[in-house]
Amino acid sequence: MTDLERALTDLADHLDVPDTAGSGDALRRRLAAPATLPRHGRTRALLAAAAAIAVVSVGVVAVAPARHAVAGWLGIGAVEIRRSVPPLSVAPSTVPTTATTEPAPSLDLAAARRLVQFTIVTPRDVASPARVAVDRRVPGGLVVLTYDHFTLVEIATDRSQPPPLAKLVGGRARVEPVTVHGHAGVWVPEIHRIGYLDRSGRLRSDTVRRAGPVLLWERDGVTFRVEGPHTLAEAHAIADTVV
Amino acid sequence: MDTTSDEELVERARTGDVDAFATLVDRYRVPALRLAYGIAGDEAEDAVQDAFVKAFRKLGTFRSDAPFRPWLFTIVANEARNRRRSMSRRASLELRVREQPPGVGSASDAPAIEHEQRRMLVAAVNQLSGHHREVIALRFFAGLTEDETAAVLACPPGTVKSRLSRALDQLRAALGEEVRL
């Protein structure tokens, strides 16, 4: 082995490889999840009978029939929060595998503004986002603004429709109701998962990704999501600049 | 540390034994993260999570007489490549060296110099083409043998040798005279 080869082997031990605390456990939970979820009707019966999963949503006027079967909703605007005891069950997707939460190409803000049906708000006092991506699978659009220390996601929110996104949190995970600019919100302080829902409210397994602590709130037909800060105070400080 | 062989764990995992597969995950998670980081930068963690889940689901297609490591790392590399393809900004692909904790109080400058050398080396790796970076990641970051690297890349071992040799030449050229490696 040459010196360069030795140096590369040594480098492997010093790379800044992302490895979030708890992601190994999250992976175990994913592995423990059944490969397939029972069919819709059975899911409903199972959920009601076992009371293993509580799906909660606030601010949703019309909800998919299956959701009525489950007591207690929590969520904000376009994002439903599903609380489950491990293992977290994820439906296999019936949509092509190209539909993922992988980031779309970066755009400039002006282009993003043309692509979504709401007014994109950028935080005061920070430089332009390092990355702007739009996802139009959400009716009305979803924009992801990536800054150095946080990510701001803005999602068009139609209260007459079921939420297009769900967060999956553990059965005992804290989900704190909060108020942001006088609007209802929630703080999810723990690592959890987020994914897209299909029209029948099933989570599409190919879209599920891990997410860190998040502050969510809804205002005037837009759901805002701040990811990155580890404390509610930090998240609030960012949210205060999104006006 | 669990000394059960990969083969035995795979056989148990095939019957749905999640704990057996979790042992394999514990065994290969770090090299898998390093490989994925080499290919897809900041997307490494999600790529590895998805790769392990896929591997678990696909265990039925794994030939039990084949070595497990190259099979697993092929899935990790594929996931990481998919993520790299969907990324547009180079920044998030860029590899970094973990920062040294400040004020370690070392009596010599050696740690700082080593850190600086690693920083220069990683900068040189960042300049490599995707192919070259990948072969470096497989061989040195994930610690695969040349034969395993060839299996992951689905090419003859001779191709791995020549690709590796070109990658190392480019690194030497990029590092120039400043770092004698």
In this predicted structure, what is the pLDDT of residue B1? 66
* Chain B: closest CA distance from residue A226 (Å): 19
Cα–Cα distance between B31 and A165 in angstroms, integer?
33
Residue A91: φ, ψ to 5°: -75, 140
Please state which of the ranges A46-50, A77-81, A91-95, B62-66 shows the lowest mean pLDDT. A46-50
Listing DSSP states for B14-64 in one string gives HTT-HHHHHHHHHHHHHHHHHHHHHHHGGGHHHHHHHHHHHHHHTGGGS-T
For A17-37, how does the pLDDT look when each residue is reduced to its tens digit (9 = 90+)?
Answer: 987 767 777 787 777 765 433
What H or E segment, with its residue span, contains residue A151? strand A151-156
Closest-CA distance, B10 to chain A, in angstroms, reads 14
Please enumerate residues of A whose Cβ is less than 8 A from a Cβ of B. Answer: 2-5, 7-12, 14-20, 23-24, 26-28, 30-32, 35, 100, 102-106, 130-131, 209-210
Quote the pTM value.
0.52
Cross-chain CB nearest to B18 (options A26, A32, A102): A32
Measured between beta carbons, the chain A residues lying within 8 angstroms of B181 are: 2-4, 7
Mean pLDDT of chain A: 72
| pLDDT value at A87 more than 60 | no
State yes or no: pLDDT of A76 exceeds 50.
Answer: yes
Q: Quick: pLDDT tens for B12-65.
A: 888 878 888 989 998 999 999 999 999 999 889 889 999 999 998 888 888 878
Q: How far apart are CA A237 and CA A126, in angstroms?
A: 12
Q: B109 vs B170, which has greater pLDDT?
A: B170
Residue whose C-alpha is closest to residue A210's, from B99, B24, B139, B44: B44
Q: d(Cα B140, Cα B137) in Å, to the nearest integer?
A: 6
Beta carbons within 10 angstroms of residue B6's beta carbon: 16
CB-based contacts of A13, cutoff 8 Å, min separation 6: none
ipTM for the predicted complex: 0.91
Cβ neighbors of A234 (< 8 A, separation 6 or more) are none
Q: Does the pLDDT at position A16 exceed 80?
A: yes
Strand partners, A185: A178, A217
Within 98-117 of B, beta carbons closer than 8 Å to A belong to 98-99, 115, 117
